Amino acid sequence: MELFCQFEVHDYMDEYPRKHVRTFIANDEEAIRKEAIKYAQHMNRNYSGGTTTFIKIMNKEEAEAHIKEVCDYEDQHPQEDSSEFKDKIVSLFNKCYNESN
């Protein structure tokens, strides 16, 4: 199964942290949680730009809101590959939450 996970990244010298979302693949939700925590620990050990904190595994509604936010931003700041980018991220969401895992 593959699910979206939310992190907080607080870059060095930035006043406020930012949200970072990525997916992880594992056999079940607990294994995804462990992989996400390992990722945050790895980033904290090896990335000198700031701290990374695992927040949560996103449920379908949270992931859908994130996808809408990303697509809205892309619509407001169009690029040459915006359509392809939006198609890919919507496809990833559907793979994670609408197909049987």
Structural domains of the chain, count: 1
Its domain, for residue 32, covers 2-97
The reported pLDDT for the residue numbered 80 is 95
**pTM of the complete model:** 0.90
Q: What pLDDT, on the 0 to 100 scale, is given for residue 47?
A: 80
Q: Are 18 and 50 in contact (CB under 8 A)?
A: no
Q: Which pLDDT score is estimated for 100?
A: 56
pLDDT tens string for the chain (101 positions)?
999 999 999 998 899 999 999 999 999 999 999 999 999 999 999 987 889 999 999 999 999 999 999 999 999 999 999 999 999 999 999 999 997 55
Q: What is the pLDDT of residue 99?
A: 79
